[in-house]
Amino acid sequence: MTTILGIAAFLLLLIGAVLSPWDPWRAPAARDGLVLTPAETTAGIPDARSRNARIWVAERTPGLGAYFVELGGSVPLERLGGRLRIVVLSGRMRVRAGGRECVVGEGGYLGIPARLPHRILREGRERLLYAAFFSPDSPNRTMMEGTGLLRRLEAASR
């Protein structure tokens, strides 16, 4: 029974991929980015996941990437090649950036300049969900692929 369901799911994905127009900046499960309801922001299978985080791509263009991130632990110290803006949708995060530390809660906004070393940790036990907007300094870079974020998330969760 499981094999049949797996084959059916694969065929549905294959049909969807064939019928949808190809766009090199669009992730496999990226949304159109026009209007997303709260239920749609994290609906379905994440576009990327590790033990500590699940990431959904809302929209990705050469100048901006919009992502929804559910963080279960922490993001290791990183230095992104572009500006990162975060809006906390639920939960609280502790942010260490440039020698400073602060806690940002639901509805809070955070802007991290390009190349500033920073680390994000979930604060408390409640679910931490945030929208991340990444403006790369190069059109060939995205928050997930070009910066090695997933590789570092997976290494930190071991």
The number of distinct structural domains making up the chain is: 1
Q: pLDDT tens digit string along 92-125? A: 999 998 889 999 999 999 999 988 999 999 999 9
**C-alpha neighbours within 13 Å on the C-beta side of residue 23:** 15
Strand partners, 78: 118
**pLDDT at residue 74, rounded to an integer:** 82
Q: Is residue 101 part of a domain?
A: yes
Domain residue limits at 147: 24-156
The Cα 78–Cα 156 span in angstroms is 12
Please tell me the pTM assigned to this model: 0.67
Residue found by looking up tokens 């590790």 in the block: 50
Spatial contact of 86 and 131, defined as CB atoms under 8 Å apart: yes
- 15 found inside a domain: no
The answer to whether residue 5 sits within a structural domain is no
Does a structural domain hold residue 63? yes
For residue 102, give the CATH number of its domain: 2.60.120.10
